[in-house]
Structure 1
Amino acid sequence: MRRCENSNALAYLRLLRPVNCAIAFASVLVGASLAGKGADAVSGLVAGLSAACVAGGGNALNDACDEAADRINRPDRPIPSGQVSARAAVSLAVALFSLGVGASAGLSAKAVCVALAAVGGLVAYDLALKRVPVAGNVAVSGISGMALLYGGVAVNRVEATLVPAGFAFLFHLGREIVKDIEDVQGDAAVGAESVAVAWGIRPALTMATAVYLTLIALTPIPFWQEWYSWRYLLLALCPVDAILLYALLSMWRDRSRQNLLRLDGLLKLNMVFGLLALWVGRA
């Protein structure tokens, strides 16, 4: 009985994608830290927990809405494998969304607005925008970039997070397009109009390449403007930009789902390097 309970708890944990939640939490903390000395650490932590709850709720809702496609793309996920029902996932999403927005109420009215905007964007994505080429990618990327802004809002210094949030938006936009290519078989089977399904794999690869090359070209600017130190530039060029270039070359050479899954994991690790560059590179 205990083994069954542990297995069920693990399935719910997998539903939340804890690594993604941890990255959302860390992004908010980095955003708050960019305000400099004197920033309210407690407010940053509360905002980070709020963002982690919203991210977890979004992941649970996404799995519930992607049940049909995941039977093909990710049959081992908790819902298609029968470990968790779609209804239970939606209930969990509602609970986590409520916790996330509730936590933001202890910060400020602006924080509540950001949290509500993120929840609204995630719901809109799952119910409608994911079926619209590019629009869904832009929505998810914008919400992901908002994590850094949320940290700034929590400590009342949003301006310091605008450029990092823009970089985060571009990073996630490229990754979302790569994930569209990765999931093209299942998305096509259920009629989802992703970029890769609607326009083809090669145009999707071209879009991801354009996004990442733009990001690479922009990354030195904060150093040139003396907003960030040489430590930022060092980490931005290697490993962050180096990994992006490697991922682009690899996906053009090998478009197999296995390789794209590997690159997706590498890009997720690169998010951590990007956050580290921002955190240690403050001028």
Structure 2
Amino acid sequence: MSILKLIRWKNLLLIALTQVLIKYALLEPFASTTTLSNFEFFLLVLSSVCLAAAGNIINDIHDIEIDRINKPEKVIVGKAISEKTAYNLFFALNIIGVCIGFYLAMAINKGPFFSIFAIISILLYIYSSFLKQMLLVGNLVVSVLVAFTILLVGLFELLPAITKMNQSTQFTFFKILFDYSVFAFMINFLREIVKDIEDVDGDYKEGIQSLPIVLGRERATKIAFLLSFIPLAAIVYYTVTYLYHQQLAAGYFLMFLIAPMIYVSIKLFNAETKKQFHHISMVLKLVMLFGILSLLLYKFILPH
């Protein structure tokens, strides 16, 4: 159970769910051609989950002192699991994730794609080691990596199968995936800032240059409030532009994405306590989940 908590199994489940829905709710029913077999796709999801789990572990190892201040009840490394065991898990998961990536790159005759998995692995380590201590850099890196879990499916499923005949269709679906990745980036970036405000005490003692430490908690909260309007405006624009004639989809976006984002903006306007920021962070996580689940709506939107 401690290992599941250490690897953040709920976050890993969200990554797996995202990639599975992309293939089986969007690409398989509607895209003209996909590349990976079911087994190869399972390996792609497994690789993504292994690398993300390794990233979560190394993050916890480097955050032991910070977590003792911010969330002492959730400290795992050094308590339930030894630091040596955590490091061994980190290396094992990285090796599995990168080796699977190498196999998949060879399987689709795109050898250079192997470097994607190696770069993700290295970036997650560098993020935990020192990037997270730099103003906004860590927030941006982790948000880009979250967004990339969506694009990764497109790179392996759509790109190798492009021909002159299906080029237009493949790029249309790649654009849909790009839109979802931008959504994931915006929501995650906002959530990263909210979490920084929530964890300001421990971060300050460890010398991390987060936004609330550099500018102050109050100013950082105002910036987060203003930033919350960007994904809100983007979702409203997407709904009005593409879904206005699809009542079911428009209703879903209104109820499960637009309304919660308005709620987040209102809460950010006067949030002050650690508990309030944690609540906002959880709502943003739900927005991310509902955004991903909207992939199930494409069977009602797109012609078969």
**Same fold by TM-score, threshold 0.5 exceeded?**
yes
Alignment partner, residue 278 of structure 2: 261
- Selected match of 1:90 from 79, 87, 90: 87
Matched, 1:243 2:240: no
Alignment partner, residue 175 of structure 1: 191
Distance 1:229 1:99 in 2: 46
Alignment partner, residue 6 of structure 1: none
Q: In the TM superposition, what is the alpha-carbon distance from 1:172 to its structure 2 partner?
A: 0.4
SS at match of 1:249: helix
Distance 1:223 1:113 in 2: 36
Q: How does 1:107-146 map to 2 (within 5 A)?
A: 107-108=104-105, 109=111, 111-146=113-148
Distance 1:134 1:51 in 2: 24
Distance 2:245 2:117 in 1: 31
Q: Which sits farther off after the overlay, 210-219 or 56-65? A: 210-219
Alignment partner, residue 19 of structure 1: 10
Does the Cα contact within 8 Å between 2:51 and 2:121 map onto a contact in 1?
yes
SS at match of 1:107: helix
Amino acid at match of 1:89: A
Q: How does 1:19-38 map to 2 (within 5 A)?
A: 19-33=10-24, 34-35=26-27, 36-37=30-31, 38=33
CA displacement 1:63-114 (0-9 Å, x = unmatched): 0010110000111224366112233222211211221122222322354333
Q: Which sits farther off after the overlay, 85-94 or 124-133? A: 85-94
Q: Which one has more relative contact order, counting CA pairs under 8 Å at least 6 apart? A: 2
Does the Cα contact within 8 Å between 1:164 and 1:278 map onto a contact in 2?
no
Alignment partner, residue 4 of structure 1: none
SS at match of 1:79: coil
Following superposition, which runs of at least 4 residues in structure 1 exceed 6 angstroms of deviation?
none
CA displacement 1:171-207 (0-9 Å, x = unmatched): 1000000000010011111111111111111222233
SS at match of 2:209: coil
Distance 2:250 2:219 in 1: 31
Shift of the 143–242 alpha-carbon distance from structure 1 to 2, 3 Å rule, reads same
Q: Which sits farther off after the overlay, 57-66 or 224-233? A: 224-233
- RMSD, matched Cα: 2.3
Amino acid at match of 2:42: L
Distance 2:263 2:113 in 1: 37
Alignment partner, residue 201 of structure 2: 185
Q: Please identify the structure whose Cα radius of gyration is greater.
A: 2
Q: Give the alignment's TM-score, normalised by structure 1.
A: 0.87
Distance 2:260 2:209 in 1: 29
Q: Give the alignment's TM-score, normalised by structure 2.
A: 0.82
Report how many residues are paired. 274
Does the Cα contact within 8 Å between 2:133 and 2:209 map onto a contact in 1?
yes
Q: Which segments of 5 or more consecutive residues in structure 1 lack a partner in the other structure?
A: 1-9
Does the Cα contact within 8 Å between 1:223 and 1:229 map onto a contact in 2?
no
Distance 1:200 1:246 in 2: 23
Shift of the 153–254 alpha-carbon distance from structure 1 to 2, 3 Å rule, reads same
Q: In the TM superposition, what is the alpha-carbon distance from 1:127 to its structure 2 partner?
A: 1.1
